[in-house]
Structure 1
Amino acid sequence: MGVQAGFETLDREVVVDLEVRGELPHWLAGTLVRNGPARFETDKGSFRHWFDGLAMLHRFGFADGAVTYRNKYLETPSFRAARDDGHIAFGEFATDPCRTIFSRFFTHPRLRNTSNANVNVVSDGDRDFALTETPIAVEFDRETLATVGLTDHHDGIDGHVTTAHPHRAPLTGDLVNYALKFGRRSVYRIYRQRGQVKELLASMPTDRPGYMHSFAVTERHVVLAVFPLVVNPLSLLLRAKPFIENYRWRPELGTRFVVFDQRDGSVVADERTDAFFAFHHINAYDEDGRVVVDIAAYPDSTVVDALYLDRVRGDAELPLSFPTRYEVDLSGGGIRSRRLASDTLELPRIAYGSHNGRDYRYAYGVGARDNGTRDFLNQLVKVDVHSGQVKLWHEPGRYPGEPVFVPAPGARSEDDGVLLSVVLDAGAGRSGLLVLDAATFTEIARADVPHAIPFGFHGQFTSR
């Protein structure tokens, strides 16, 4: 079956108790909810890209050393159209449902009106939401994973696309994100949410919007890294192509770092550096008149094309990202950059609750064994960003997902806690939950799931 099992449709929805091998920490109690695509075909069509599959939630519950598991599709208009009518009815990242120039012009599917929230999950304290790169969020019940309904997660902050990676501002606790509105003069709108009130913080007009999957915050700033994968907004309406295929790689533009003051939205730095591309920021912080921004950086945007399903199911090479530091001088001194480690890193996580937006030491993620490009992401990585030292977890034939850090109560150090990762055993055709000691990077427990879980994107742990 091989790595292809991670890109195959999962039809089963189950509720089961898992057998735990090893011993979980007595303090580990709560839920891990992971999100990702799990259906790649309909009766009348197929999705073209990994990012387009229909969203399924996976819940791991922890209590008294035991683990439970359940999984469930998000029942959105996008899902119901595929299930009930067999249609791909909404524009996705790289899949266009329309078949004629006439219908393309009048429905504008490339503006991605999908409710297929398959990227991330977030909680506002009382409610839980699944997110994608459109402003449509999907509320779900954390215990049952049942879909509650759709909501405009921006609520008055007008825009066509956004990120599924909102941040909590380290000092205020505000939820910060941006929305991009396409138009003759497109505009990025950065906003913050205090309680249930959303407030526009800053606007930045642009003629050629860039594709940005994430951004960064520090204690004092919001940072947008605008990569030169850009679009003419008219193309989204006039060209017969899916959303991302309207974007063009323009390395001569370089990568633009724009730093905004969180207090009043003013621009305190606007600098460019050599072209590169990324999906994920690792962390950022303020230091001595500079903003330090760590990113899982690719040399260019070819990774987007590499993740079409016909390629990842085959033997195409996978471009690799490396943890890279960019230091933006706030006094106009430009940008310095350097690689933080020699091993690849993607789907990065940190001790978010204590170190997001602040100086930190450890980053966790997935990578490729010996930096190989002929296999999918097949190891877990821990990077000491101070020293560049790396710890690795690898087992042949196993493919781990994003490692979520859970701190121990009263943690005595930044890496005092555990990492939770869903790992596909390609040979057995099933997945399991792997629990590592974050400090030593050694296994302390695992629990097998009764099926293969398709490769997902992001998840969150909560103690409730």
Structure 2
Amino acid sequence: MLKRYSAQPEPAAASGGDGSSAVAMNAGGTHVSAAARRAVFATAIEQVSEAPAQVVSGRLPSWLRGSLLLNGCGDFRGMQHLFDGYACLSRVRLDGQANSAWASQRFLDTDAYRSFRATGRLKYREFGTPAGTPAAAQPKSSLPLLPLLRSAYNTTCGVVATLTGRQGFSDNASVTLTALPSGQLLALSEPAAATYLVDPHTLAATHHVVYGSTKQGSRASGSSNSSSSGQQAGAAAAAGAGVVAASSGGRPEVRRVVDDMPHSDIQTAHVKHTPDGGLVNFSRSLPFGGYHVYVQDPVSLKRKQIAFIRDRDPFAPCWVHDMAVTRSHLVVVESPLHMNLTALMTGGSRPYVFMDWRPEAGTRVHVIALDGSGVVTHTAPALFTFHFSNAFEQPSASAPGASEICVDFSVYDDPTVLNDLSLKQMMAMPGQDISPSRLRRLTIPLRDAGGKPVGPSRLAAPAPLLRDESAYGNFVEFPAFNPKFTGLPYRYCYSTAAVRPTNMGNALAVHDLQEGVSRLWHSPGGMPAEPCFVPRPGSSDEADGVVLAAVVGADGGSSVVVLEGGSLRELARVQLPVTVPYRFHGTFVQQQQ
């Protein structure tokens, strides 16, 4: 049964086990309002000093103490795509005992953003916007060849920089935040240069992480463009220091990490935690090669390669945004969405931004042992995905004594959603409906009844997990779950969803994978960001916790909603003193008791 909860908190007594607190919403749904769109895509206002926020309804759970930290884009001037804006970090600190909250917001101090503010043009290509694009529309030039010459110049500079080991890709780390044992945050995007360490209290970028290789002839990854910084980096590396003194102007320090990994141009922004507390990710160099899968020490940040996966087409590598991890394996789902390197480097366009869709090639599914003992590559029908929920290993349901991997993720038929996320489309009123995506499970054979690894095989298409996929508007993005269940069988998945018609995610959902049903939270005219599940400390009940999500309301104001895990009943709402722009991903850091 589908239950839609209103966007207003209700007394706990009003919510019975039969869902009596549910309030029916307009079955046709509502579009995100014009005011909300303007707020989400306006240039963000910094709030560097923490400012009080107001709990305007309900009450924070007394055990909820810590900070919701979010990454995303805060300046879209001149941009063409949702993934292009410059990184802006948001922090909402919650104290349930005092029923109080505070908020702050700050742009990430990157070379890309500094240059943009100084020149009014993009120094590097962002995802969908070529280098050299101005922040504002320019009057028509009397020299018609000038834009072409400027584009050619920027392209040449980028190619030469990449090939000579200088920073040829943007360092705009606008996608994820990962908490490290040091207490710092790791801010990432897909270029290897887009790797920063961030102070979780001030949101200031403290270090720009620059990878170097001990391999002879390897280029440095994302090397600083500042000659003084480069000289300092060399001196520090020679002294074994690893960290360079800050350059003038209070910019982030350069932390040079030298390891045995080959040169990296590209990484995934979704680094994963391993069961032993480490990190796992992969990188690649351009123009051709493959995936260098590595584990990473979360303190030194040094990487160790555990596998290499060669590209299917060395001249057109596939674009992979996220991965799934079990207790002992990494799963990389390689959709047949191929980067067109010419378009990428020259600022050209293809059917899907700078990429081509080759569905006839099918999908490759790579299963990599975290201990480095091997890789098995399976094939599956063509599909596209951005994000994964959970993955785990279990006894095979079809072969007694055997084992399998279950991977849950958001599945699209094709990458049309990439075009749906152009800023022109997202700002359109009402706009074209967002492409459908569905929560599905991919089952991968792992070991046979004798305990031997299963070799390459043809996998069935991912199977539905829910009885009625229209219950969540046939749209699932930013899937999340109780982090205590990472790599383990689980019951609840949280995500953004759609109350259609809409051209962007406009609801939150909890999906009960055991019962096969979904429940929605929807605020008409508003737009919620990624849900973040915070478990109650000390509890082993998977649903015992709260879901936090930043929301831009129909009036353009920003808040954070606190929803009950398992039901999405609204417990409290915190009105923020600053407008929060479009958020991608974040994390919750518990306050030490």
Global fold match (TM > 0.5): yes
Counterpart check, 1:329 vs 2:434: no
- The residue aligned with 1:133 is 190
- After superposition, what is the alpha-carbon deviation per residue over 1:295-334, rounded to whole angstroms, capped at 9, x for unaligned? 1111100111111111110113311211111101233553
Deviates most, 121-130 or 277-286: 121-130
- After superposition, what is the alpha-carbon deviation per residue over 1:30-54, rounded to whole angstroms, capped at 9, x for unaligned? 111101101111xxxx011111111
CA distance in 1, matches of 2:369, 2:127: 31
Residue 246 of structure 1 aligns to which amino acid in structure 2? F
Please report how far the alpha carbon of residue 279 of structure 1 lies from its aligned counterpart in structure 2 after TM superposition.
0.6
Change (3 A) 1:210 1:60: same
Contact 1:429 1:451 in 2 (8 A): no
Going by fraction, where is strand more abundant, 1 or 2? 1
- The residue aligned with 1:357 is 487
**Gap regions ≥5 residues in structure 2:** 1-33, 133-149, 163-167, 212-220, 222-256, 396-402, 447-453
- Which one of 267, 279, 283 corresponds to residue 179 of structure 1? 283
- The residue aligned with 1:295 is 409
Change (3 A) 1:233 1:204: farther
CA distance in 2, matches of 1:460, 1:374: 27
Please report how far the alpha carbon of residue 192 of structure 1 lies from its aligned counterpart in structure 2 after TM superposition.
0.4
- The residue aligned with 1:13 is 47
CA RMSD of aligned residues (A): 2.2
CA distance in 2, matches of 1:357, 1:241: 38
- After superposition, what is the alpha-carbon deviation per residue over 1:51-84, rounded to whole angstroms, capped at 9, x for unaligned? 1111111101122321100101111111111222
Residue 62 of structure 2 aligns to which amino acid in structure 1? H
CA distance in 1, matches of 2:536, 2:511: 20
Residue 156 of structure 2 aligns to which amino acid in structure 1? F
Change (3 A) 1:298 1:202: same
Change (3 A) 1:200 1:373: farther
Q: Secondary structure of the equivalent of 1:107?
A: helix
- After superposition, what is the alpha-carbon deviation per residue over 1:417-457, rounded to whole angstroms, capped at 9, x for unaligned? 0111001112x211101000113310111111234322210
Q: Secondary structure of the equivalent of 1:52?
A: coil
Residue 321 of structure 1 aligns to which amino acid in structure 2? S
- Which one of 278, 284, 296 corresponds to residue 385 of structure 2? 278
Alignment of 1:330-409 (within 5 A): 330=446, 331=454, 332-336=456-460, 337-341=462-466, 342=469, 343=472, 344-352=475-483, 354-369=484-499, 372-409=500-537
Residue 212 of structure 1 aligns to which amino acid in structure 2? V
Q: Secondary structure of the equivalent of 2:124?
A: coil
Counterpart check, 1:48 vs 2:80: yes
Counterpart check, 1:413 vs 2:446: no
Please report how far the alpha carbon of residue 225 of structure 1 lies from its aligned counterpart in structure 2 after TM superposition.
0.2
What is the TM-score with the length of structure 1 in the denominator? 0.92
Contact 2:352 2:419 in 1 (8 A): no
Contact 2:557 2:579 in 1 (8 A): yes
Residue 158 of structure 2 aligns to which amino acid in structure 1? T
Please report how far the alpha carbon of residue 287 of structure 1 lies from its aligned counterpart in structure 2 after TM superposition.
1.8
Please report how far the alpha carbon of residue 415 of structure 1 lies from its aligned counterpart in structure 2 after TM superposition.
1.1
Q: Secondary structure of the equivalent of 2:378?
A: strand
Contact 2:68 2:91 in 1 (8 A): yes
Please report how far the alpha carbon of residue 146 of structure 1 lies from its aligned counterpart in structure 2 after TM superposition.
1.7
Please report how far the alpha carbon of residue 123 of structure 1 lies from its aligned counterpart in structure 2 after TM superposition.
2.2
Deviates most, 355-364 or 143-152: 143-152
CA distance in 1, matches of 2:128, 2:457: 39
- Which one of 323, 333, 339 corresponds to residue 215 of structure 1? 323
Change (3 A) 1:68 1:239: closer
Please report how far the alpha carbon of residue 144 of structure 1 lies from its aligned counterpart in structure 2 after TM superposition.
1.2
Counterpart check, 1:188 vs 2:313: no
- The residue aligned with 1:24 is 60
Please report how far the alpha carbon of residue 107 of structure 1 lies from its aligned counterpart in structure 2 after TM superposition.
1.9
Residue 359 of structure 1 aligns to which amino acid in structure 2? P
Q: Secondary structure of the equivalent of 1:457?
A: strand
- The residue aligned with 2:37 is 4
- The residue aligned with 2:576 is 449
- Which one of 253, 265, 268 corresponds to residue 163 of structure 1? 268
Please report how far the alpha carbon of residue 233 of structure 1 lies from its aligned counterpart in structure 2 after TM superposition.
4.1
- The residue aligned with 1:203 is 308
Change (3 A) 1:236 1:425: closer
What is the TM-score with the length of structure 2 in the denominator? 0.73
Please report how far the alpha carbon of residue 255 of structure 1 lies from its aligned counterpart in structure 2 after TM superposition.
1.1
CA distance in 2, matches of 1:284, 1:451: 36
Change (3 A) 1:375 1:134: same
- The residue aligned with 2:450 is none
Please report how far the alpha carbon of residue 102 of structure 1 lies from its aligned counterpart in structure 2 after TM superposition.
4.2
Residue 479 of structure 2 aligns to which amino acid in structure 1? P
**Gap regions ≥5 residues in structure 1:** none
Residue 435 of structure 2 aligns to which amino acid in structure 1? P
- The residue aligned with 2:116 is 82
Residue 141 of structure 1 aligns to which amino acid in structure 2? D
- After superposition, what is the alpha-carbon deviation per residue over 1:347-402, rounded to whole angstroms, capped at 9, x for unaligned? 111112x1111111111010101xx2534211110011222111111121121111
Change (3 A) 1:365 1:265: same
Contact 1:94 1:242 in 2 (8 A): no
- The residue aligned with 2:158 is 107
Contact 1:364 1:381 in 2 (8 A): yes
Residue 561 of structure 2 aligns to which amino acid in structure 1? L
Identity of aligned residues (%): 30
Contact 2:151 2:346 in 1 (8 A): no
CA distance in 2, matches of 1:124, 1:243: 38
Q: Secondary structure of the equivalent of 1:277?
A: coil
Please report how far the alpha carbon of residue 27 of structure 1 lies from its aligned counterpart in structure 2 after TM superposition.
1.1
Aligned residues: 453
- Which one of 185, 202, 205 corresponds to residue 147 of structure 1? 205
- After superposition, what is the alpha-carbon deviation per residue over 1:233-272, rounded to whole angstroms, capped at 9, x for unaligned? 45544674599733100000111111111122411x3211
CA distance in 2, matches of 1:270, 1:30: 41
Q: Secondary structure of the equivalent of 2:307?
A: strand
Residue 433 of structure 1 aligns to which amino acid in structure 2? V
- Which one of 553, 564, 568 corresponds to residue 425 of structure 1? 553
